[in-house]
Structure 1
Amino acid sequence: MFLVACGIIVGCLLPIQTAANTRLKLSVGAPLSAIFYSFSIGFTLLTVASLVATGAVLPGIIDLHGGTGPDYGSAPWWIWLGGVAGVAMLLGNILLFPRLGALQTVVLPIAGQIISGLLIDHFGLFHAPQSSLTAPRILGAVLVILGVLIAVGVVRPRRAASSSSISTPNSPESHAMRGPQVWLWRLLGVCVGGFVAAQATINSHLGQLLNSPVRAATVSFAVGVAVLAVLVIFGRQPLKVKRLPASHEKDAQSDKNPPWMWIGGFIGAIFVTTQAIMVAQIGTGMTVIATLMGMMVGSLLVDRFGLMGAPRVPVTKAKVAGLLVMLVGVALVRLVG
């Protein structure tokens, strides 16, 4: 029960991570620069954690092609792509958050994660244990998609239709109801979920090769930092942190950069480490359920109270109903199927 509670708490932090990284982007002027800072902070923390847990940081990774064990000597080329997927995931979240709000930035990737996870399991991609599609899994995926449509307001229960259409004039929801371009952003949100599923599977296999989930997470972050460094240097992305003009902020201290904009990397490192511990102790299914519950609650809180500069968006009964339908669907996919 303690680990489940930890999973829920860590899940609640993920929407806050996205909000912090989005705010950091405003101060540095470019999404890639903000992610570079976030990854660098996370990599530093994981390096310390790996050193404490295993007595080593990255040593041993070169032995992937020369050690003992069934997978040594034939490490696949895609084993390094976990960090790349992590970069794509954070970049997608930073782009989605100011356009769709915290709730949609969370629920759309969940749908993509479930669909991609089913495909990975069914075809045994990335050396994942093969698990065929079953009726409960398919039903669960359908419920997840239905829950997403309810949560974002595409499908509305009759009684909640009037209240779910309420939005502030400049809120993400008011923009989401206008124009077809919002569906391109929603599609990107689903694709982000695919990167989440791929990263988890790849890092899981890397953890088996290195016999350490923490060191695997450290390697993943190291790859992400290296990729971002190349993109930042050759793309001539700004790294200087500037103060924003008063027009960008709501309060009287608008010329100051809030300290919380740096916590994205800390949350990322805590999340990866907690996930590794939870999977080993209570299994993947319960880990996913607990984390997703936390993510849903966290996204509602960010939207409802406008935390960390996010626009306030009303929490309606339709949104809550959609999240509950999604949770049932995820449970069918991860626990029953």
Structure 2
Amino acid sequence: MQWMAVLFAVAAGVLNTVQSGSNVTLHKILGQPVWAAVIVYVVGLLAIAVAAPFMGVRLPAPGAVSHVPWWAWLGGAFGAFYIFTMLTMADKLGAAIFQALTVTAAIATSLAMDHYGWMGFEVHKAGIGRLAGGACMIVGLFLIAKF
């Protein structure tokens, strides 16, 4: 396992939860989830634009865009749905339940995507260990929601 990848994934998980708090606060103060979401995306776009030169980013090869499958263009819409849901539901549910729901749903979806190789992922069969881990996530979700 690559430690740098693991560290970045852990940081992304922590920041995903912290992001819920900052975005909900933005929504509360502005009183409008749509404008809060626009600000979240504009700030994110600016962060990417500032980071890109330091990462050695180049433009895609000519013609590459025409080979992108239709569903690969939907990531931004999925992200927008997540942000809007976070803005409107995280405060109602609480950070722990919101994150438990989204992470557990993500694990269940990830297990299926890996098992069947959906959306460009390499196949990683869902053996007993992976299925047990997914079941533990579901049990954990119920424990967090009930206690």
* TM score, norm. by length of structure 1: 0.38
Q: Which has the larger radius of gyration?
A: 1
| Matched residue, 1:203 | 23
In the TM superposition, what are the counterparts of 1:111-130 in structure 2 within 5 Å?
Answer: none
| Matched residue, 1:268 | 79
Q: CA deviation at 1:335?
A: 4.3
Unpaired segments of 5 or more residues in structure 1? 1-175, 177-181, 245-254
* TM score, norm. by length of structure 2: 0.79
Q: Which of 27, 41, 49 matches 1:229?
A: 49
SS of aligned partner of 1:239: coil
Is contact 1:206-1:216 (8 Å) kept?
yes
Is contact 1:243-1:257 (8 Å) kept?
no
| Matched residue, 1:320 | 131
Counterpart CA distance in 1 for 2:127 and 2:82 is: 28
Counterpart CA distance in 1 for 2:55 and 2:111 is: 36
Tell me the number of residue pairs that the alignment of Structure 1 and Structure 2 aligns. 145
Q: CA deviation at 1:221?
A: 0.9
- Sort the Cα spacing of 1:306 and 1:234 in 2 relative to 1 into closer, same or farther, 3 A: closer
Is contact 1:303-1:313 (8 Å) kept?
yes
Counterpart CA distance in 2 for 1:234 and 1:324 is: 41
Q: Give me the CA root mean square deviation.
A: 2.6
Counterpart CA distance in 2 for 1:218 and 1:259 is: 24
SS of aligned partner of 2:57: coil
Counterpart CA distance in 1 for 2:126 and 2:56 is: 41
> Which structure is higher in RCO with an 8 Å CA cutoff and minimum separation 6?
1
Unpaired segments of 5 or more residues in structure 2? none
| Matched residue, 1:278 | 89
| Matched residue, 2:40 | 220
Which protein is richer in helix relative to its size?
2
| Matched residue, 2:109 | 298
Is contact 2:27-2:87 (8 Å) kept?
no
- Sort the Cα spacing of 1:200 and 1:335 in 2 relative to 1 into closer, same or farther, 3 A: farther
Q: What is the letter of the counterpart of residue 283 of structure 1?
A: L
| Matched residue, 2:118 | 307
